[in-house]
Chain A
Amino acid sequence: MIISNTQEIPGKTIVEFFGVVSGSTVRAKHIGKDIMAGLKNVVGGELKGYTELLSEARGEAIRRMSYQAEEMGANAIVNVRFATSSVAQGAAELFAYGTAVRVE
Protein backbone atom coordinates (compact mmCIF):
# COMPACT_ATOMS: atom_id res chain seq x y z
CA MET A 1 0.00 0.00 0.00
CA ILE A 2 1.48 3.32 -1.09
CA ILE A 3 0.29 6.23 1.04
CA SER A 4 0.82 9.83 0.04
CA ASN A 5 -0.59 13.25 0.83
CA THR A 6 -0.12 14.45 -2.73
CA GLN A 7 -2.85 14.52 -5.40
CA GLU A 8 -1.13 11.79 -7.35
CA ILE A 9 1.48 9.18 -6.58
CA PRO A 10 4.69 10.70 -7.92
CA GLY A 11 6.05 8.66 -10.81
CA LYS A 12 2.84 6.63 -11.24
CA THR A 13 -0.52 7.11 -12.91
CA ILE A 14 -3.93 6.56 -11.34
CA VAL A 15 -6.00 4.05 -13.27
CA GLU A 16 -9.00 3.63 -10.99
CA PHE A 17 -10.70 5.51 -8.14
CA PHE A 18 -12.42 3.70 -5.28
CA GLY A 19 -13.61 6.64 -3.18
CA VAL A 20 -12.92 7.96 0.28
CA VAL A 21 -11.38 5.69 2.90
CA SER A 22 -10.91 6.65 6.52
CA GLY A 23 -9.63 5.32 9.78
CA SER A 24 -10.05 6.69 13.25
CA THR A 25 -9.12 5.83 16.78
CA VAL A 26 -9.82 7.31 20.20
CA ARG A 27 -7.09 6.77 22.74
CA ALA A 28 -6.28 7.59 26.32
CA LYS A 29 -3.17 6.91 28.36
CA HIS A 30 -3.43 5.30 31.77
CA ILE A 31 -3.94 7.56 34.77
CA GLY A 32 -0.29 7.43 35.83
CA LYS A 33 0.86 9.04 32.62
CA ASP A 34 -1.90 11.61 32.87
CA ILE A 35 -0.71 12.59 36.32
CA MET A 36 2.88 12.78 35.08
CA ALA A 37 1.77 14.99 32.20
CA GLY A 38 -0.13 17.18 34.67
CA LEU A 39 3.04 17.65 36.70
CA LYS A 40 5.11 18.28 33.60
CA ASN A 41 2.55 20.88 32.61
CA VAL A 42 3.71 23.05 35.56
CA VAL A 43 7.32 23.25 34.38
CA GLY A 44 6.55 23.18 30.68
CA GLY A 45 8.36 21.33 27.93
CA GLU A 46 7.49 18.28 25.90
CA LEU A 47 4.81 15.96 27.23
CA LYS A 48 6.41 12.74 25.96
CA GLY A 49 3.56 10.52 27.11
CA TYR A 50 1.11 12.45 24.93
CA THR A 51 3.50 12.63 22.00
CA GLU A 52 3.75 8.84 22.06
CA LEU A 53 0.02 8.44 22.54
CA LEU A 54 -0.79 10.53 19.52
CA SER A 55 1.82 9.05 17.22
CA GLU A 56 0.72 5.50 18.13
CA ALA A 57 -2.90 6.46 17.61
CA ARG A 58 -2.18 8.09 14.27
CA GLY A 59 -0.32 4.95 13.18
CA GLU A 60 -3.37 2.90 14.13
CA ALA A 61 -5.71 5.23 12.21
CA ILE A 62 -3.50 4.88 9.12
CA ARG A 63 -3.49 1.07 9.50
CA ARG A 64 -7.29 1.01 9.64
CA MET A 65 -7.51 3.28 6.62
CA SER A 66 -5.10 1.07 4.62
CA TYR A 67 -7.05 -2.03 5.62
CA GLN A 68 -10.23 -0.48 4.28
CA ALA A 69 -8.50 0.48 1.03
CA GLU A 70 -7.08 -3.03 0.66
CA GLU A 71 -10.53 -4.55 1.00
CA MET A 72 -11.74 -2.35 -1.85
CA GLY A 73 -8.92 -3.64 -4.05
CA ALA A 74 -6.88 -0.44 -4.05
CA ASN A 75 -3.10 -0.39 -3.96
CA ALA A 76 -2.56 3.23 -2.97
CA ILE A 77 -4.15 6.07 -1.02
CA VAL A 78 -3.66 9.64 -2.22
CA ASN A 79 -4.37 13.04 -0.72
CA VAL A 80 -4.29 11.81 2.88
CA ARG A 81 -5.41 14.32 5.51
CA PHE A 82 -5.33 14.18 9.29
CA ALA A 83 -7.71 15.60 11.85
CA THR A 84 -7.34 15.63 15.62
CA SER A 85 -9.98 16.39 18.18
CA SER A 86 -9.98 16.04 21.93
CA VAL A 87 -13.16 14.27 22.95
CA ALA A 88 -12.54 14.02 26.70
CA GLN A 89 -9.79 14.95 29.08
CA GLY A 90 -6.68 12.90 28.39
CA ALA A 91 -8.26 11.22 25.37
CA ALA A 92 -7.94 12.21 21.75
CA GLU A 93 -9.54 11.16 18.50
CA LEU A 94 -7.20 10.79 15.59
CA PHE A 95 -8.73 10.63 12.18
CA ALA A 96 -7.02 9.95 8.87
CA TYR A 97 -8.75 10.00 5.50
CA GLY A 98 -7.80 9.88 1.87
CA THR A 99 -8.81 8.60 -1.55
CA ALA A 100 -8.25 4.96 -2.39
CA VAL A 101 -6.92 4.45 -5.90
CA ARG A 102 -5.20 1.89 -8.08
CA VAL A 103 -1.97 3.06 -9.62
CA GLU A 104 0.32 1.62 -12.24
Chain B
Amino acid sequence: MDLLSLAITPVILFGAWLSGTLIERRHLKSLRLLESGSRGVLAVTIEDLPPDWHVESCDLVMGNVVISQDYFKRVAASIKGIFGGNIRVFEPLLERARREALVRMKAMAHARGYDTIINVRIETATLASTRGDGKGTAGVEIIAYGTAISLAGGR
Protein backbone atom coordinates (compact mmCIF):
# COMPACT_ATOMS: atom_id res chain seq x y z
CA MET B 1 0.00 0.00 0.00
CA ASP B 2 2.78 2.39 0.97
CA LEU B 3 4.79 1.38 -2.11
CA LEU B 4 1.75 1.97 -4.29
CA SER B 5 1.14 5.46 -2.93
CA LEU B 6 4.87 6.21 -3.31
CA ALA B 7 4.62 5.25 -6.97
CA ILE B 8 1.40 7.19 -7.57
CA THR B 9 2.46 10.49 -6.02
CA PRO B 10 5.02 11.43 -8.72
CA VAL B 11 2.45 10.55 -11.39
CA ILE B 12 -0.13 12.86 -9.82
CA LEU B 13 2.48 15.58 -9.38
CA PHE B 14 3.55 15.31 -13.01
CA GLY B 15 -0.05 15.24 -14.25
CA ALA B 16 -0.90 18.28 -12.13
CA TRP B 17 2.16 20.15 -13.37
CA LEU B 18 1.38 19.35 -17.02
CA SER B 19 -2.31 20.23 -16.91
CA GLY B 20 -1.67 23.25 -14.70
CA THR B 21 0.83 24.61 -17.20
CA LEU B 22 -1.50 23.97 -20.13
CA ILE B 23 -4.42 25.65 -18.36
CA GLU B 24 -2.25 28.64 -17.51
CA ARG B 25 -1.10 29.04 -21.11
CA ARG B 26 -4.64 28.80 -22.44
CA HIS B 27 -5.84 31.32 -19.89
CA LEU B 28 -3.12 33.82 -20.83
CA LYS B 29 -4.05 33.46 -24.47
CA SER B 30 -7.75 34.06 -23.82
CA LEU B 31 -6.88 37.01 -21.55
CA ARG B 32 -4.91 38.73 -24.30
CA LEU B 33 -7.89 38.33 -26.60
CA LEU B 34 -10.40 39.59 -24.03
CA GLU B 35 -8.23 42.52 -23.00
CA SER B 36 -7.87 43.72 -26.57
CA GLY B 37 -11.67 43.43 -26.88
CA SER B 38 -12.35 45.54 -23.79
CA ARG B 39 -9.85 48.27 -24.57
CA GLY B 40 -12.71 50.71 -25.24
CA VAL B 41 -13.68 50.76 -21.55
CA LEU B 42 -11.56 53.04 -19.37
CA ALA B 43 -11.15 51.94 -15.76
CA VAL B 44 -9.59 54.32 -13.23
CA THR B 45 -9.12 54.18 -9.47
CA ILE B 46 -9.79 57.88 -8.94
CA GLU B 47 -13.11 59.03 -7.66
CA ASP B 48 -13.15 62.74 -8.45
CA LEU B 49 -13.97 63.47 -12.03
CA PRO B 50 -12.54 66.23 -14.20
CA PRO B 51 -14.93 69.21 -13.92
CA ASP B 52 -15.81 69.16 -17.61
CA TRP B 53 -17.22 65.62 -17.43
CA HIS B 54 -21.00 65.61 -17.21
CA VAL B 55 -22.32 62.32 -15.93
CA GLU B 56 -25.66 61.13 -17.25
CA SER B 57 -26.07 57.90 -15.33
CA CYS B 58 -24.10 55.50 -13.19
CA ASP B 59 -24.25 51.96 -11.92
CA LEU B 60 -22.21 49.55 -9.82
CA VAL B 61 -20.35 46.99 -11.93
CA MET B 62 -18.21 44.07 -10.81
CA GLY B 63 -16.31 41.07 -12.03
CA ASN B 64 -15.12 38.11 -10.03
CA VAL B 65 -13.14 34.95 -10.48
CA VAL B 66 -12.23 32.05 -8.23
CA ILE B 67 -8.94 30.51 -9.22
CA SER B 68 -6.81 27.75 -7.78
CA GLN B 69 -3.22 26.63 -8.09
CA ASP B 70 -2.40 23.16 -9.34
CA TYR B 71 -1.21 20.52 -6.90
CA PHE B 72 2.39 20.50 -8.16
CA LYS B 73 2.84 24.23 -7.67
CA ARG B 74 1.21 24.08 -4.24
CA VAL B 75 3.74 21.45 -3.19
CA ALA B 76 6.56 23.50 -4.74
CA ALA B 77 5.34 26.59 -2.88
CA SER B 78 5.20 24.78 0.46
CA ILE B 79 8.80 23.62 -0.01
CA LYS B 80 9.84 27.16 -0.95
CA GLY B 81 7.97 28.41 2.10
CA ILE B 82 10.46 26.61 4.36
CA PHE B 83 13.27 28.80 3.09
CA GLY B 84 11.21 31.96 2.80
CA GLY B 85 11.46 34.63 0.16
CA ASN B 86 9.27 35.36 -2.82
CA ILE B 87 7.00 32.48 -3.71
CA ARG B 88 7.13 33.07 -7.43
CA VAL B 89 4.80 30.26 -8.45
CA PHE B 90 1.87 32.10 -6.87
CA GLU B 91 2.57 35.45 -8.48
CA PRO B 92 1.41 34.59 -12.03
CA LEU B 93 -1.71 32.94 -10.63
CA LEU B 94 -2.86 36.04 -8.78
CA GLU B 95 -1.90 38.28 -11.67
CA ARG B 96 -3.98 36.20 -14.07
CA ALA B 97 -6.92 36.28 -11.70
CA ARG B 98 -6.77 40.06 -11.31
CA ARG B 99 -6.62 40.56 -15.05
CA GLU B 100 -9.58 38.22 -15.50
CA ALA B 101 -11.65 40.03 -12.85
CA LEU B 102 -10.90 43.42 -14.44
CA VAL B 103 -11.84 42.12 -17.88
CA ARG B 104 -15.14 40.77 -16.54
CA MET B 105 -15.92 44.04 -14.81
CA LYS B 106 -15.26 45.92 -18.06
CA ALA B 107 -17.41 43.46 -19.99
CA MET B 108 -20.29 44.05 -17.56
CA ALA B 109 -19.94 47.82 -17.98
CA HIS B 110 -19.78 47.48 -21.75
CA ALA B 111 -22.87 45.24 -21.84
CA ARG B 112 -24.80 47.90 -19.96
CA GLY B 113 -23.70 50.65 -22.30
CA TYR B 114 -21.05 52.36 -20.17
CA ASP B 115 -17.55 53.22 -21.32
CA THR B 116 -15.90 54.54 -18.14
CA ILE B 117 -15.47 53.00 -14.70
CA ILE B 118 -14.34 55.15 -11.79
CA ASN B 119 -13.27 54.31 -8.24
CA VAL B 120 -12.18 50.79 -9.16
CA ARG B 121 -11.31 48.58 -6.21
CA ILE B 122 -9.79 45.12 -6.29
CA GLU B 123 -10.19 42.76 -3.36
CA THR B 124 -8.89 39.30 -2.60
CA ALA B 125 -10.54 36.70 -0.40
CA THR B 126 -9.50 33.16 0.43
CA LEU B 127 -12.20 30.54 0.40
CA ALA B 128 -12.62 27.73 2.88
CA SER B 129 -10.74 24.54 2.23
CA THR B 130 -12.56 21.78 0.41
CA ARG B 131 -10.84 19.31 2.68
CA GLY B 132 -11.70 18.90 6.31
CA ASP B 133 -8.09 18.97 7.53
CA GLY B 134 -7.57 22.55 6.43
CA LYS B 135 -4.80 21.64 3.99
CA GLY B 136 -5.22 22.39 0.31
CA THR B 137 -6.95 25.63 -0.42
CA ALA B 138 -10.10 25.80 -2.50
CA GLY B 139 -8.66 28.84 -4.18
CA VAL B 140 -8.75 32.57 -3.93
CA GLU B 141 -11.45 34.87 -5.11
CA ILE B 142 -10.57 38.14 -6.75
CA ILE B 143 -13.30 40.71 -7.14
CA ALA B 144 -12.99 43.96 -9.04
CA TYR B 145 -15.71 46.55 -8.72
CA GLY B 146 -16.32 50.16 -9.52
CA THR B 147 -18.89 52.70 -10.60
CA ALA B 148 -19.60 52.70 -14.31
CA ILE B 149 -20.60 56.08 -15.69
CA SER B 150 -21.83 57.36 -19.00
CA LEU B 151 -20.96 60.88 -20.00
CA ALA B 152 -23.03 63.43 -21.86
CA GLY B 153 -21.29 63.97 -25.16
CA GLY B 154 -18.90 61.06 -24.70
CA ARG B 155 -15.48 60.91 -23.09
Size of the B side of the interface (Cβ < 8 Å), in residues, is 51
Determine chain A's interface SS by DSSP, over half rule. mixed
Q: Which of A3, A41, A54, A89 has the most CB of B within 10 A?
A: A41
- Complex Cα spacing A47 to B130, Å: 12
Q: Which of chain A's residues have a CB closer than 8 A to the CB of B65?
A: 46, 51
Could you say which of B19, B69, B147 contacts A5, with CB atoms under 8 Å apart?
B147
A63-92 interface code vs B (CB 8 A; 1 in, 0 out):
000000000000000001010111111111
Bound complex: CA of A82 vs CA of B60, how far in Å? 12
Find the A residue at minimum CB distance from B134.
A89
Give every chain B residue within 8 A of A45 (Cβ-Cβ). Answer: 20, 23-24, 27, 67-68, 70
Given contacts A11-B55, A62-B60, contact A86 B145 (CB under 8 A): no
> Does A10 contact B118, Cβ atoms closer than 8 Å?
yes
In the bound complex, do residue B146 and residue A5 qualify as a contact, i.e. CB atoms below 8 Å apart?
yes
Q: What residues of chain B lie closer than 8 Å to A38, measured between beta carbons?
A: 130-131, 138
* 19 pairs, CB–CB < 8 Å, chain A vs chain B: A5-B60, A6-B58, A10-B118, A11-B57, A11-B149, A37-B138, A38-B131, A41-B130, A42-B15, A42-B70, A43-B15, A47-B139, A58-B62, A58-B143, A80-B60, A84-B143, A87-B128, A91-B128, A92-B127
Q: B interface vs A, CB < 8 Å?
A: 12, 15-16, 19-20, 23-24, 27, 47, 49, 54-60, 62, 64-71, 73, 93, 100, 118-119, 121, 123, 125-132, 136-139, 141, 143, 145-147, 149
